C-alpha cells in the first residue's frame, strides 16, 4: 500500500503520496520543487479547490520536512465501543467529534488517550486496545500554522455508565451511536474524524 499523508486544513486537504489517485481530476497538483508549506497555507484561502496533491517518491520525507518547519502539537484520543457495539461521540462547538486532547509533559500517547476519553465523557475505559490511525490537521496560532498530530486508539467501555460532558471543554453532549447511525455524525463532523470512524470494526 502506497504511503499517504492527509493533512486537513479547515475543509481542505493536502495529500502527500507517491501514487496518483484514480480520480485525480478532483485534485490540484502542487509543485514539489521548492514547496513552502507556510506559503501554501496562507495562499489556500484564495484557492477555490479543496483537494491538493503533492506527489513524491518519498512521501514520508516530504511530510517530515513539513513537520520540521512548523510547530507540532501531539494529541491522543479514542474510538470507544461498548458491549452493544455502539461507539462514543461528543458534540463540541456545533459538530460531532471524538474525545481527544493534547499530551501532557512526559505523558505516553496511550495514557493520554484514555485520560482524555474519561475526562471528556465522564466514563471509565474498561480496556485499551490497539492504535488504529494517526490523523493530521492544521490550525492557526498567532498567524502561524500549527500541525496537530492525533494518535487514535480503539477502546472498550461499558455502555450503562452515566455520560457526563466536560462542559469547560466546550462539549455539550456525549452519546453512543450504532454504526447504522453514523450518517448523523458524517453529516456534521470533520474530515479527520471521518478517517477514524472508517476504522470502526
Residue 21 has pLDDT above 80, yes or no: no
Where does the pLDDT of residue 172 fall: very low under 50, low under 70, confident under 90, or very high at 90 and above? very high
Pick from 11-20, 67-76, 99-108: least confident = 11-20
Residue-level length of the chain: 201
Residue 1 has pLDDT above 60, yes or no: no
- Comparing C-alpha atoms, which of 41, 22, 49, 6 is closest to residue 192? 6
**Whole-angstrom Cα distance, residue 160 to residue 123?**
10
**Whole-angstrom Cα distance, residue 74 to residue 147?**
9
Residue 182 has pLDDT above 60, yes or no: yes
Which grid cell sits at 106?
512526559
Where does the pLDDT of residue 159 fall: very low under 50, low under 70, confident under 90, or very high at 90 and above? confident
What local confidence, expressed as pLDDT, does residue 11 receive?
Answer: 87
Q: Name the CA radius of gyration of the chain, rounded.
A: 18
Where does the pLDDT of residue 23 fall: very low under 50, low under 70, confident under 90, or very high at 90 and above? confident
Which grid cell sits at 13?
486537504
What local confidence, expressed as pLDDT, does residue 24 receive?
Answer: 64
Per-residue pLDDT tens digits for 39-66:
999 999 899 999 999 999 999 999 999 9
Which grid cell sits at 194?
471521518
**Whole-angstrom Cα distance, residue 163 to residue 161?**
6
Give 99 or 49, the one with higher predicted confidence.
99
Residue 178 has pLDDT above 80, yes or no: yes
Cβ within 8 Å of residue 157, ≥6 positions away? 80, 81, 82, 88, 117, 123, 124, 125, 126
What local confidence, expressed as pLDDT, does residue 45 receive?
Answer: 87
Taken in order of first residue, the domains within the chain and their CATH numbers are 4-69 (no CATH), 72-197 (3.90.79.10)
What local confidence, expressed as pLDDT, does residue 43 receive?
Answer: 93
Contact 154, 132 (CB under 8 A): yes
Residue 180 has pLDDT above 80, yes or no: yes
Residue 2 has pLDDT above 80, yes or no: no
Pick from 22-31, 113-122, 130-139, 182-191: least confident = 22-31
**Whole-angstrom Cα distance, residue 184 to residue 22?**
28
Per-residue pLDDT tens digits for 73-97:
999 999 999 999 999 999 999 999 9
- Comparing C-alpha atoms, which of 180, 159, 198, 137 is closest to residue 80? 159
Amino acid at each position: 500500500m502506497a504511503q499517504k499523508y492527509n493533512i486537513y486544513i479547515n475543509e481542505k486537504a493536502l495529500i502527500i503520496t507517491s501514487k496518483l489517485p484514480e480520480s485525480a481530476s478532483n485534485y490540484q497538483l502542487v509543485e514539489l520543487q521548492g514547496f513552502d508549506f507556510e506559503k501554501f497555507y496562507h495562499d489556500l484561502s484564495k484557492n477555490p479547490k479543496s483537494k491538493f496533491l503533492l506527489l513524491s517518491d518519498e512521501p514520508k520525507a516530504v511530510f517530515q520536512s513539513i513537520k520540521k518547519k512548523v510547530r507540532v502539537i501531539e494529541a491522543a484520543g479514542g474510538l470507544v465501543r461498548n458491549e452493544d457495539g455502539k461507539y462514543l461521540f461528543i458534540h463540541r462547538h456545533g459538530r460531532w467529534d471524538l474525545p481527544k486532547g493534547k499530551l501532557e509533559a512526559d505523558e505516553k500517547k496511550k495514557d493520554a488517550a484514555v485520560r482524555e476519553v474519561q475526562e471528556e465523557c465522564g466514563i471509565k475505559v474498561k480496556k485499551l486496545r490497539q492504535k488504529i490511525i494517526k490523523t493530521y490537521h492544521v490550525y492557526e496560532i498567532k498567524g502561524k500554522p500549527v500541525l496537530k498530530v492525533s494518535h487514535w486508539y480503539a477502546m472498550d467501555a461499558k455502555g450503562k455508565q452515566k455520560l457526563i460532558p466536560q462542559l469547560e471543554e466546550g462539549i455539550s453532549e456525549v452519546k453512543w451511536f450504532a454504526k447504522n447511525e453514523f450518517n448523523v455524525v458524517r453529516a456534521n463532523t470533520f474530515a479527520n474524524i471521518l478517517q477514524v470512524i472508517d476504522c470502526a470494526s
